[in-house]
Structure formats: structure tokens, C-alpha cells
Amino acid sequence: MNKIKVSIVIPVYNTEQYLEKCLDSVIGQTLKEIEIIVVNDQSPDDSQSIINKFIRKDCRITAITNETNMGLGASRNKAIKYCKGEYILFLDSDDWIHSKTCEYFFQIAEEYNTDIIEGLLNPVTSRKLIDFDTNFDDLTKNLDISIGSTYLNLQRFIPSVCNKFWKKNFIQKNDLRNKEDRFFEDIYMSLPASLKAKKICKINFPFYFQYINPLSITRQKKTLKHIEDRNYLLQFLSNELTKATSPESKNVIRRIIAERIEAAVSDLLLANEGKDSFKELTAVALNLWPQVKHDFISLDIPFVRKWGIYFILNLNLIGLAKQMLLFYLFFKRQIKKIGV
């Protein structure tokens, strides 16, 4: 086999109904010098049979089976150690990619010596395999290559590791990893990486088809684990803000903290358990609030939501707001029961 140019990493857990489409999109790449590393994270369904079928079909597929269920972040980290390609692409097993993804990204990465290239996520609700015609010259017209902190001040930060094309040497040199056993695992890799990148760019190529599944991790009912991991994430971002030295980096991190506080307050109001964790996350959010409230005002979120949360945090009314919301939801249920 020729030298491997791109390694595609696919962790698999309980996605048998989507996995064939995912793997079809990968073996159908127009760039042939790729390897596909599939990590079975102790999936309880029939995913392994599908993986075996594709191994018989395509020798570029390597299968790894975790001894225990390790989670998405740990499975990605494990796969990185096996990657032989010059570049790495992460793909979730219920999603799929455009047929020219590896070809186009590899050409740009080689020509401009990038650490990271960002493309566009393309949310879809249909399981039908979609592809479309696209012109390489149009994608690379007026391409802007920046250092990471400058780039992030011009672009909205997308925490996903899957919309990015990674130079493997850059990952290894900076010891970049997904966070293990945490929700929101991508940001622990993508934020430090984006800030450290010497060359990063974005192309308007919606290559990544992200299936919107109502049962996915990010759309589940908010639990104690969500609250604890929101707390952990805000503390991580607070440490990153402390470590940042350039004004550009500080601006980026403050904006991200403002976005995450907005999400944290929403979770706090909707979570049904974890009084101690509620108090801890409230304390962390309120501690960071004076540093980021001006960044919060500039967020592009609905007017009522923005100023409602601003008012709640400014006056430290999270506990009262939660009680009022619970009362409203209880009252609404009672009205529904009696059919008014």
C-alpha cells in the first residue's frame, strides 16, 4: 500500500442502524491513501458484525475493541496511537462525510502546511446518504491562513473535533487529547489546539453530515452528571483564561466562557437533582460572571433569554429563578390534568 495520507478515526457505540452509511462514506473517499480505524467501545448491539463485514470488503479498515466501555473521548485518544497517516479526521459513527473530504483537505493542508483546517458541519435529519458537487478552486479562493488566536477572534469557535482536519504531528507535539469520562469532551482538545495553532484556516465546505438524533448524548435529559461536567468545564476555562498571555487569547476565552455560562444556567434551571453540584456550579458561574458579562451581552441569542439570564446572574437569583420555573412547570401540569 502507498504511504497513508489520512487516518479516519471512528468510535462506535450502539449505532448499528447508522454505521453502514458512515463506513460507506469513508470507503468511498476519492483519496485512496487512507486508513480507517474503527474502535468498538463494547457496543451492545450488532455493530461488530457490521464492522467485520466492512473489513472483509476493504483492507484499509483496522478494528480495535475496548475491553470495557471507555466512552467517546477515551476511544478517540486510544485510536490516535494507532494512526499512521500524516493527518487525522474524527468521525462519529452516526454521521458521514462528503466523498471528496479527504482529497480536498489533504491538498489544502499540503499546499499551506496547516496545523488545522476547519470545514462546516451540515446538520441533517434524514438518514439518506447525501453528496453534492463542489469545486475545489471555489473552496480555496481567498483562503485566509491565520495563527490560532487571530483566527478565533474572527470566527465563531466551534468546539467539535469532527469539523477539523488535523495534522498528526501537531496533535502529538502538543499532546492534544479529548477529555475522558466527561460530557463536552471535544472542547478540551479543540480549544487549546486552536490557540496553539501556527496555521489554521476555514473553508466553506459543508463536508460533515451530522445526523440530528433526539437520543444523542447532547440532547438527553439534563442529569447530575451534566451539572458536574458543566462545573468541571467552567473551571477548565477559568484556568485557560488565567494562563492566557495575549489579549487576543483572553478575548476568545472570555467569549467562550460567556457562551458556556449561558448553557450552564439553562442546565441549572432544568436539572432535577444534585443540590451540592447545583451550588458548586452556581458559585463557579457567579465567580466568572464579572469578567465576562460584557462578552455575554454580545452573544447572538434570543433577546428575552439573554436579558433574563443577565438579570438572574447580575442579581444572583439563580436559586429563585429555578424555584419559579419549577412552580410554573408544576402549575402547567396541573392545568393540563384538569383540561383547562
- 89 in the same domain as 53: yes
pLDDT, position 80: 97
- Cα pseudo-dihedral 58, 60, 63, 64, rounded to 10: 180
Whether residue 332 is found in the same domain as residue 296: yes
Inside any domain, residue 123? yes
| Residues spanned by the domain of 201 | 6-214
**Calpha distance 255→275 (Å, rounded):** 28
Q: What is the CATH number of the domain that holds 52?
A: 3.90.550.10
- Crossing angle for the helix pair 275-297 and 303-314, to the nearest 10 degrees: 120
pLDDT of the chain along its 340 residues, tens only? 589 999 999 999 999 999 999 999 999 999 999 999 999 999 999 999 999 999 999 999 999 999 999 999 999 999 999 999 999 999 999 999 999 999 999 999 999 999 999 999 998 876 665 666 777 777 777 788 899 989 998 888 999 999 999 999 999 999 999 999 999 999 999 999 999 999 999 998 999 999 886 555 445 566 788 888 999 999 999 999 999 999 999 999 999 999 999 988 877 776 665 567 677 888 888 899 999 999 999 999 999 889 888 888 888 776 665 555 544 454 445 555 555 4
User: Would you say residue 178 lies in a domain?
Assistant: yes
Strands 87-90 and 200-202: unpaired
Show Cβ contacts of residue 280 under 8 Å, excluding neighbours closer than 6 positions.
Answer: 231
**Residue 167, strand partner residues:** 87
Could you tell me if 202 and 232 lie in one domain?
Answer: no
What are the C-alpha distances in Å from 178 to residues 93, 260, 276?
Answer: 17, 18, 27
Residue with cell 485510536: 79
**69 and 131 share a domain?**
yes
Rounded to 5 degrees, what angle do the CA atoms 87, 92, 93 make? 120
Residues 201, 233, single domain; the answer is: no
The residue out of 146, 180, 214 marking a domain boundary is 214
**275 and 175 housed in the same domain:** no
Residue 1: inside a domain: no
Cα dihedral 96, 98, 102, 105, rounded to 10, equals -120
| Domain end (from 195, 214, 233) | 214
156: how many CB neighbours lie within 10 A of its CB?
9
Q: Are residues 120 and 253 in the same domain?
A: no
- What pLDDT score does 336 carry? 56
Domain termination residue (choose one: 166, 190, 214) = 214
In a domain, 320, yes or no: yes
What is the model's pLDDT at position 319? 63
> Coil, strand or helix: which one is 321?
helix
- At 327 the pLDDT is 47
Residues 320, 295 within the same domain: yes
CA–CA separation, 200 vs 114, rounded Å?
6
Count of domains for the chain: 2
What pLDDT, on a 0 to 100 scale, did the predictor assign at position 249? 94
If one counts every other C-beta atom within 10 angstroms of the C-beta of residue 190, the result is 23
Is residue 21 a part of any domain in this protein?
A: yes
Mark whether 14 and 76 lie in a shared domain: yes
192 in the same domain as 226: no
Cβ-contact 37, 7 below 8 angstroms: yes
Query: How many Cβ atoms sit within 10 Å of the Cβ of residue 39?
Result: 26
Region label for 274, one of left (φ > 0), alpha (ψ between -120 and 50) or beta (otherwise): left
Clarify whether residues 89 and 145 are in a common domain.
yes
Statement to judge: residues 208 and 277 lie in one domain: no
Q: Are 41 and 68 in contact (CB under 8 A)?
A: no
Instruction: Evaluate whether 64 touches 40 at the Cβ level (below 8 Å).
Output: yes
**DSSP labels for 218-235?**
GGSPP-HHHHHHHHHHHH
Cell of 177: 487529547
In angstroms, how far is the first alpha carbon of the chain from the final one? 70
